[in-house]
């Protein structure tokens, strides 16, 4: 069996036996011997993660959760990361298809390259799934994600809760314009905050590729443009929130200006505990990875996957069968939720200077 070094092949166990029908019950990692054919090869799933920079979640949370989900299901899988390069994602997809994946899940870097990957996969009989980000104009059989409009609503409500009803100047630092989720986050946040008359938007900009460093420069400019009169910042994820906090720190305002986030990263939770970030949004990687594994297995078996509803592709008008999970807002009051759910460990979050904040908030 040919294997790329980035690939992990696990043995056929439990449920996968019926998928692979290979008669090889070894869990030694060698999988089925030889190349099985047609429906027998059903069980191999490829997942391509987008990058390592836009959020730490992809490598620190999604990859291990996906590995655990596929291993538990006894499904052969390969996970790779496109490192922010759409061409590289295309090459990885080609090589995974060449290696016999029958289901390919991608977190697209932009809809155009994602749709092209899906079209090519379909032409070779490979089913596709949009993992986390919907590919506009794409052809994925399923979309597995969280309800991203709700993520934005939680961020908007979280910021409003931190600000109260006072007059407040608000800046939006949105995610990448190439990420459909970023559009949904911003829409969700606006749907809450636009209804509060005492708030004024004094700046709003998207951050290309969610680039955390560029976010510093962009927010610095928005901050200067508003004469430093910024009372609250809707930052689309923890990385962008961290960028905002660093600028506020430089201006002696960290902790005074509420900033939102998303992903419940170690840094995000630490900022929440330290009071420099008002909230984050927890989206369990385990739930999302499990949903992906379940959906991929159903597809591989030619069965219908369980869905929560349809999502309309705003470009093509296509209704995409979807599994959308519920995100959860995290503030100082409920950081423990993430720890209890093993979304992060107390050891990581409460390390060093953050130990005292954990103690104050009763987090352990
Ligand atoms: C994901 C977020 C993530 C962002 C940057 C979005 O599509 O839903 O969880 O922070 O991309 O990677």
Give residue-wise pLDDT tens across range 252-275. Answer: 999 999 999 999 999 999 999 999
**The predicted structure's pLDDT at residue 126:** 97
Distance, in Å, from the CA atom of 149 to the CA atom of 320, rounded to the nearest integer, reads: 16
Cβ(108) – ligand 1 distance below 6 Å: no
The answer to whether residue 113 scores a pLDDT higher than 60 is yes
Q: Which of 106, 132, 330 to mutate to test the pocket of ligand 1 (most atoms within 8 A of CB)?
A: 132
Question: Is the CB of 139 inside a 6 Å radius of any atom of ligand 1?
Answer: no
Q: Is the pLDDT of residue 26 over 80?
A: no
> 11 C-alpha vs ligand 1 centroid, how far in Å?
31
Question: Alpha-carbon Rg of the chain, whole angstroms?
Answer: 21
Say if residue 340 is exposed, middle or buried (CB neighbours under 10 Å; 0-12, 13-18, 19+).
exposed
Q: Quick check: CB of 51 below 6 Å from ligand 1?
A: no
pLDDT digits (tens, 9 = 90+) for 318-340: 999 999 999 999 999 999 999 99
Instruction: Tell me what pLDDT residue 243 has.
Output: 98
Separation of 348 CA from ligand 1 center, angstroms?
21
pTM over 0.85: yes
pLDDT at 1 over 90: no
Atom of ligand 1 nearest to the CA of 210: 5
What confidence score (pLDDT) does residue 5 get? Answer: 38
Distance 193 CA to ligand 1 centre (A): 21
pLDDT tens track for 93-109: 999 999 999 999 999 99
Closest CA to 232 of 221, 217, 219: 219
| Residue of 351 and 11 predicted with greater confidence | 351
> Which fold, 44-147+284-326?
Rossmann fold (3.40.50)
Say yes or no: CB of residue 62 within 6 Å of ligand 1. no
Long-range CB contacts for residues 301-308, cutoff 8 Å, separation at least 24 = 301/18, 301/19, 301/42, 302/39, 302/42, 305/142, 307/142
d(CA 218, CA 220): 5
Of 6-20, 47-61, 188-202, minimum mean pLDDT range: 6-20
Phi, psi (deg, nearest 5) at residue 323: -120, 105
Residues 124, 157: Cα–Cα separation, whole Å: 45
Cβ proximity of 350 and 364 under 8 Å:
yes
Percent of the chain with pLDDT over 70: 88
Nearest to 139 by CA among 149, 131, 128: 128
Report the pLDDT value the prediction gives residue 2, as an integer from 0 to 100: 37
Q: How far apart are CA 150 and CA 26, in angstroms?
A: 43
Query: Is the CA virtual torsion 336, 337, 338, 339 positive or negative?
Result: positive
Ligand 1 contact, 288 CB (< 6 A) = no
237 lines ligand 1 (CB under 6 A): yes
Asked if residue 132 has its Cβ within 6 Å of ligand 1, the reply is yes
Q: Give the model's pLDDT for residue 43.
A: 73
- pLDDT tier, 21 (very low <50, low <70, confident <90, very high otherwise): very low
Q: Is the CB of 54 under 6 A from ligand 1?
A: yes
Q: Per-domain residue ranges for the chain?
A: 44-147+284-326, 148-282+329-361
d(CA 173, CA 205): 5
The domains spanning 44-147+284-326 and 148-282+329-361 adopt the same CATH topology: yes
pLDDT digits (tens, 9 = 90+) for 139-163: 999 999 999 999 999 999 999 999 9
> Pocket of ligand 1, candidates 179, 180, 260, 267: which has the most ligand atoms within 8 Å of its Cβ, to mutate?
179
Our answer on whether the CB atom of 262 is closer than 6 Å to any ligand 1 atom is yes
Any idea which fold 148-282+329-361 has? Answer: Rossmann fold (3.40.50)
Mean pLDDT of 223-234: 98
């Amino acid at each position: 069996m040919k294997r790329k070094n980035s690939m992990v092949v696990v043995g056929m166990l439990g449920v996968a036996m019926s998928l692979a029908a290979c008669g090889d019950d070894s869990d030694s990692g060698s999988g089925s011997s030889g190349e099985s054919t047609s429906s027998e090869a059903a069980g191999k799933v490829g997942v391509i993660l987008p990058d390592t920079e836009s959020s730490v979640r992809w490598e620190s949370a999604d990859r291990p959760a996906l590995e655990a989900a596929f291993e538990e299901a006894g499904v052969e899988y390969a996970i790779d990361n496109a490192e922010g390069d759409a061409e590289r994602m295309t090459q990885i997809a080609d090589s995974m298809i060449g290696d016999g994946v029958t289901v390919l899940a991608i977190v697209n870097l932009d809809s155009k390259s994602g749709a092209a990957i899906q079209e090519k996969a379909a032409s070779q009989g490979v089913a596709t799934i949009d993992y986390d980000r919907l590919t506009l104009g794409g052809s994925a059989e399923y979309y597995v994600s969280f309800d991203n409009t709700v993520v934005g609503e939680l961020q908007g409500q979280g910021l409003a809760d931190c600000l109260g009803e006072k007059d407040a100047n608000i800046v939006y630092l949105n995610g990448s314009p190439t990420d459909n989720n970023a559009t949904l986050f911003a829409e969700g946040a606006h749907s809450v905050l636009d209804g509060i008359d005492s708030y004024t938007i004094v700046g709003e900009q998207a951050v290309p590729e969610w680039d955390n460093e560029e976010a510093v420069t962009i927010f610095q400019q928005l901050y200067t443009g508003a004469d430093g009169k910024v009372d609250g910042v809707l930052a689309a994820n923890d990385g962008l929130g961290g960028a905002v906090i660093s600028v506020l720190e430089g201006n002696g305002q960290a902790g005074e200006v509420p900033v939102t986030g998303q992903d419940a990263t170690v840094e995000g939770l630490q900022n929440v505990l330290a009071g420099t970030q008002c909230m984050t949004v927890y989206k369990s990687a385990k739930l999302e990875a499990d949903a992906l594994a379940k959906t991929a297995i159903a597809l591989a078996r030619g069965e219908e996957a369980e869905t929560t509803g349809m999502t309309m592709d705003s470009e093509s008008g296509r209704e995409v069968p979807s599994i959308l999970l519920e995100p959860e807002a995290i503030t100082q009051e409920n950081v423990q939720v993430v720890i209890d759910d093993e979304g992060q460990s107390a050891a990581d979050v409460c390390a060093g200077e953050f130990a005292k904040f954990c103690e104050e908030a009763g987090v352990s």
